[in-house]
């Protein structure tokens, strides 16, 4: 149950339909936000976890320990952590016996209370019995005029019930995000976690500090992730691959034994043994079969390439189907857009497309066909044929010598 308020529609767009939402129409504080979820939770009887929305690094294991602590002879439990400088966070105030008695926010703390190093990440677990009554008794008589969720601890203690604590060993797990600098800090921690998990599973990450890998990414054993590599979104990488350096792969599936060097791949699928790069760009909708080779400065878009197709360099293949074992020469272009609509190019199996061939779609080139270098192909080419479309060459005898003599004469006249 996610309580949304300010820019709530953006939050819903980001989280999707996997959660339920409650609206906090007026932002009156964290305690008020928790109360907004009461009706949606209905007659739930049992533990209720309350988490701040800006604590992105918390682990499921930590929450499990918190729930376990709240199931003892206590009314609830809370996380705490130690910081050398807890400025900005609520302090955990204990009595002489070490029992928690209340939480004091920074703006309401005395000098002595502000010196306490134990702070409150605002993550709790309370039994539903008594929770809603105490939330309703929270008052806004504080420096910010808000209903603090932290007051729930003091109310529970004043009712004669205890609140257990679970100390987080690494305070970074419960860091809050209140600025872009803190967002970057938490992002670095999360990326390190992801990298460590991958390395434990048998992936080699050459430079963890420069590997940007989303938590949603999966990578197979014995794959090597080179420096400055970004694996983003719903990306899967198979086994025995080399990805990077300087590779960006987003929402794509890469098979086993592939190599991607200094290239970008977006929303595409690669079979096994595919090589891409350097400096290639695979735009959405590309499907590359096993053994395909895409070389430097090649761009693909919405293209399907059969097994062992090779496009070595300086080529654009858009809205095209290329048959297996076809070779695409340097400088080949599929002209897929006529200014009004996109059209498809089809090249059969075993074809040889000569360098600087322009394929003006819609056009079909048959199996085992050859196109002559420098040709502009506007009509279909049947199987086993040679497609040639270029002007006849003419050589003018002594033209270059006469041109040089004329230029020299002009320059001499200027002198």
Q: What is the pLDDT of residues 144-166, one digit of tens each?
A: 889 989 899 999 999 999 999 99
Residue 48 has pLDDT above 90, yes or no: yes
pTM for the full model?
0.84
d(CA 121, CA 176): 8
Residue 415 has pLDDT above 90, yes or no: no
Rounded mean pLDDT of 236-262?
98
Domain boundaries, the chain: 2-174, 203-387
Q: Write down the pLDDT at residue 44.
A: 87
d(CA 388, CA 184): 57
Domain 2-174 CATH (choose: 3.40.50.300, 3.40.140.10, 3.90.550.10, 3.30.499.10): 3.90.550.10
SS3 269: strand
Q: Write down the pLDDT at residue 42.
A: 76
For residue 371, count CB atoms less than 10 angstroms from its CB and return exposed for 0-12, middle for 13-18, buried for 19 or more.
buried
Contacts of 366 (CB under 8 A, 6+ apart): 348, 351, 380, 381, 382, 383, 384, 385
pLDDT per residue over 370-399, tens digit each?
Answer: 999 999 999 999 999 999 999 888 999 999
Token digits of residue 392: 């006849």
Active site residues: 313
**Residue 299 to residues 50, 250, 286, 375, Cα–Cα distance (Å):** 49, 16, 10, 20
Q: Write down the pLDDT at residue 175.
A: 87
Domain 203-387 CATH (choose: 3.40.50.1580, 3.40.50.970, 3.40.50.20, 2.160.10.10): 2.160.10.10
């Amino acid at each position: 149950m996610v309580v949304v308020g300010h820019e709530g529609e953006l939050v819903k767009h980001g989280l999707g339909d996997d959660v339920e939402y409650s609206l906090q129409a007026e932002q009156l504080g964290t305690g008020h936000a928790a109360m907004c979820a009461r009706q949606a939770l209905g007659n739930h009887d049992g533990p209720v976890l309350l988490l701040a929305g800006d604590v992105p690094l918390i682990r499921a294991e930590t929450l499990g320990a918190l729930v376990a602590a709240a199931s003892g002879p206590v009314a609830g439990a809370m996380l705490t952590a130690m910081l050398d400088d807890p400025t900005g966070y609520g302090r955990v105030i204990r009595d002489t016996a070490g029992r928690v008695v209340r939480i004091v926010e920074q703006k309401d703390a005395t000098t002595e209370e502000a010196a306490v190093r134990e702070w409150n990440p605002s993550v709790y677990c309370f039994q539903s019995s008594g929770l809603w009554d105490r939330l309703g008794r929270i008052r806004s008589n504080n420096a910010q005029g808000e209903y603090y969720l932290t007051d729930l601890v003091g109310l529970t203690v004043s009712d004669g019930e205890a609140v257990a604590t679970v100390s987080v060993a690494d305070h970074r797990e419960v860091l809050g995000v209140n600025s872009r600098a803190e967002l970057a800090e938490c992002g670095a921690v999360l990326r390190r976690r992801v990298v460590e998990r991958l390395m434990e599973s048998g992936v080699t990450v050459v430079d963890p500090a420069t590997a940007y890998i989303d938590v949603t990414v999966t990578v197979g054993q014995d794959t090597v992730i080179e420096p400055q590599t970004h694996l983003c979104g719903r990306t899967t990488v198979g086994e025995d691959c080399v990805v990077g350096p300087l590779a960006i792969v987003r929402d794509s599936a890469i098979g086993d034994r592939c190599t991607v060097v200094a290239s970008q791949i977006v929303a595409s699928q690669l079979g096994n043994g595919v090589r891409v790069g350097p400096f290639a760009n695979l735009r959405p909708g590309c499907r590359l079969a096993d053994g395909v080779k895409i070389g430097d400065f090649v761009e693909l878009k919405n293209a399907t390439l059969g097994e062992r197709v090779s496009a070595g360099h300086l080529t654009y293949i858009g809205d095209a189907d290329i048959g297996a074992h076809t070779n695409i020469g340097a400088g080949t272009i599929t002209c897929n857009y006529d200014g009004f609509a996109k059209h498809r190019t089809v090249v059969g199996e075993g074809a040889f497309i000569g360098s600087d061939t322009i394929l003006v779609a819609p056009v079909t080139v048959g199996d085992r066909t050859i196109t002559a270098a420098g040709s502009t192909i506007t009509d279909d080419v049947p199987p086993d044929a040679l497609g040639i479309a270029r002007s006849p060459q003419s050589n003018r005898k002594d033209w270059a010598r006469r041109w040089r003599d004329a230029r020299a004469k002009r320059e001499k006249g200027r002198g």
